[in-house]
């Protein structure tokens, strides 16, 4: 698949991880909570943590889905978590986040 668009050209354009766009003016603010202690959870998707000071992860654990917001040192980040959702809601939120509609 090729694209004829030739915008850009900052080095990070080659980054394989998603970079979030600026927040939309009608952005919906999520409530971010201190981390709950999930015994185990899986990270299913994530945004770029190499070129961004704040990054996000879509997680599933204990039968619920949530988004983690990470910031600071990638080796020892500050972590906050969204509400827990069912899968469909969580995936919608994740897409909205990637498009700058939710943050």
CA distance 37 to 47: 22
Q: Which is nearer to Zn ion, 46 or 85 (CB)?
A: 46
| Distance of closest approach, residue 16 Cβ to Zn ion, in angstroms | 8
| Distance of closest approach, residue 84 Cβ to Zn ion, in angstroms | 28
Chain centroid to Cα 47, Å, comes to 5
DSSP bridge partners of 33: 81
Q: Which is nearer to Zn ion, 52 or 91 (CB)?
A: 52
> Contact positions toward Zn ion, by CB under 5 A?
12, 15, 48, 50-51
| Distance of closest approach, residue 17 Cβ to Zn ion, in angstroms | 5
CA distance 82 to 74: 19
Q: Which is nearer to Zn ion, 10 or 31 (CB)?
A: 10
């Amino acid at each position: 698949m090729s694209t004829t668009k030739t915008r850009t050209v900052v080095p990070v354009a080659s980054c394989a991880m998603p970079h979030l766009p600026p927040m939309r003016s009608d952005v919906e603010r999520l409530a971010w909570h201190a981390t709950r202690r999930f015994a185990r959870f899986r990270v299913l998707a994530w945004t770029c943590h190499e070129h961004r000071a704040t990054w996000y992860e879509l997680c599933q654990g204990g039968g619920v889905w949530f988004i983690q917001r990470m910031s600071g040192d990638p080796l020892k980040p500050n972590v906050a978590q969204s509400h827990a959702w069912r899968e469909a809601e969580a995936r919608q939120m994740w897409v909205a986040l990637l498009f700058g509609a939710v943050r």
